Amino acid sequence: MITNTRMETFLVLLKQQTELIEILAQQETELQQRVADRDWESVETLVGEMTSVSEAISRVEEDRNALFLEIACELGGETDFAVVLSRMPMEIRTLLSQRYRELKIAVLRLQSRTANMDAYLRSSLATNRSVLRELFPEHATPGYSSDGQGRLQAGTALMVNSHH
């Protein structure tokens, strides 16, 4: 049967991963604000911090998966989470289900914030391209003609200075 220490460790890993994902989601929101403010130096710093958090999430994920496989093996070898969960005592099952739901919610929150950031950046890029196409049509030639032939014309370099 599963040792209490093993299950406690698994629960701790679930909680750690949830907390790290929540930190990453907060950083994602902060990143969007810094990009909107065009504070590129702090964006670079924050991206480094986000990379560290992402790496920590990956390490916890690996540890959690390895421990889950050990627990699953002890409970009959089935690796489906629902099946493993059903073979546990009720009090452990309840706590484990709660922690797993918290992890899922944190992941959904992170995905939502990532999607928001992606939409913001795509919108900004599209707007910038439209403005540049209007101001400098010679730089806006498409890469392909109507018959599919490559038509890459190197225009003169364009540098935009946003500092006043």
pLDDT digits (tens, 9 = 90+) for 22-48: 999 999 999 999 998 989 899 999 999
Q: Residue 150 domain-assigned? A: no
Count how many domains the chain has. 1
* Global pTM value: 0.74
Contact 96, 85 (CB under 8 A): yes
- The confidence band for 76, taking pLDDT boundaries of 50, 70 and 90, is confident
Give me the domain span that covers residue 25.
4-135
Residue 15, pLDDT > 90, answer yes
Q: What is the CATH number for 30? A: 1.20.58
Residue burial 150-163, b: 16+ Cβ < 10 Å; e: rest: eeeeeeeeeeeeee
Residues 92-150 pLDDT 10s: 999 999 999 999 999 999 999 999 888 888 888 888 788 877 887 766 665 656 676 65
In a domain, 161, yes or no: no
The answer to the question of residue 81 being in a domain is: yes
